[in-house]
Amino acid sequence: MNAMELLTTRRTYRRFAQKAVPQDVVDDIVQAVRLSSCGANRQAVRLVLVQSSEMVAKVQPLVKWAGYLPPEQGTPKADELPTFYAAVVQDTVIPGDLATDTGIALANMTLAAWDKGVGSCIMGAINKPALTALLGIEEPQKLAFMVAFGYPTHKASIVPMTEQTGVKYYLDENRDYCVPKRSAEEIVRARQRLPPRGSWQSRQALTEGVYTAYIHTFSPLLHKCLQNRFNFTDYYAQVLTFCFVQTILSAFPESAMNRIPSGQSKLYCID
């Protein structure tokens, strides 16, 4: 699979074959977390691996499945349970944006598993106090998520999100998961082009730029000069004018400045 195929097919899986996840896949999951990007390279994400059948069985009643579905549809049966869990833990002594770093690590580890055909389910609806005690997680480390792993026995596909579906996933007639996603057009907005010179939009932009420059630069400095009884010499006038013009120019993209014919004032083009 190429990268986009991997991203498209790496969905949440909730029913699994009773087949152990090989150690090489577990090693890939660990490496994926170790190599994850993180703020200031602080590396605050830790893992607790739950691989023995005895410990996996103890974890099962402490996690919840498929919040959008009734239990009889979303909760795996005894012969559909995952065979491996990873507890994702945050080292709270290390400063930084732990939520973002954890999200990146979760994406990496589940993609690494899916590259080997192992599905996953990231679980936030968990009994954190009980799992913390069961897994021996101690302060300053804090349990953030559990991730279930195994070989899926169902399919999961992207479908268009409509007014009828909303955001909730659902099961089709084959008990396969359908996951509504917004269209690309809905989630992205292209940067608007610069209005043509002389148009009302460009005049409005100029007006707003001048007003912003006056309010934030020229007016405060002038007030300060008068308040402190400065001698308003040409020097202060030049300083104020420079700041005023620079603030106006900063309100317009550099690409617009670059369209000015050589030899003409940059300020001249703002019309």
Q: Tokens in use for 198?
A: 């002389």
Whole-number Å distance between alpha carbons of 141 and 94 = 10
Radius of gyration from C-alpha coordinates of the chain: 29
Task: Give the pLDDT confidence score for residue 203 in this predicted structure.
Answer: 58
Contact 75/66 with Cβ under 8 angstroms? yes
Q: Which residue would you say has higher pLDDT here, 232 or 113?
A: 113
Q: Cα–Cα distance between 202 and 242 in angstroms, integer?
A: 22
The answer to whether the CB of 137 falls within 8 A of the CB of 158 is no
Kindly tell me if the per-residue pLDDT of 161 is higher than 80.
Answer: yes
173-223 tens-digit pLDDT? 999 999 999 999 999 987 666 666 666 555 566 566 655 655 555 555 555
Assigned token pair, 73: 């549809």
Q: Quick one: tokens of 244? A: 């005023």
Instruction: Give the C-alpha distances (Å, rounded to integers) separating 130 from 43, 66, 67, 119, 149.
Output: 26, 20, 20, 25, 20
**pLDDT score for 189:** 85
- For 148, the 3-state DSSP assignment is strand
Angle (CA) 18-119-10 rounded to 5° is 160
Share the mean pLDDT of the chain.
83
Q: Model pTM?
A: 0.71
Instruction: With cut-offs at 50, 70 and 90, classify the pLDDT of residue 235.
Output: very low
What integer pLDDT is reported at residue 260 of this predicted model?
A: 42
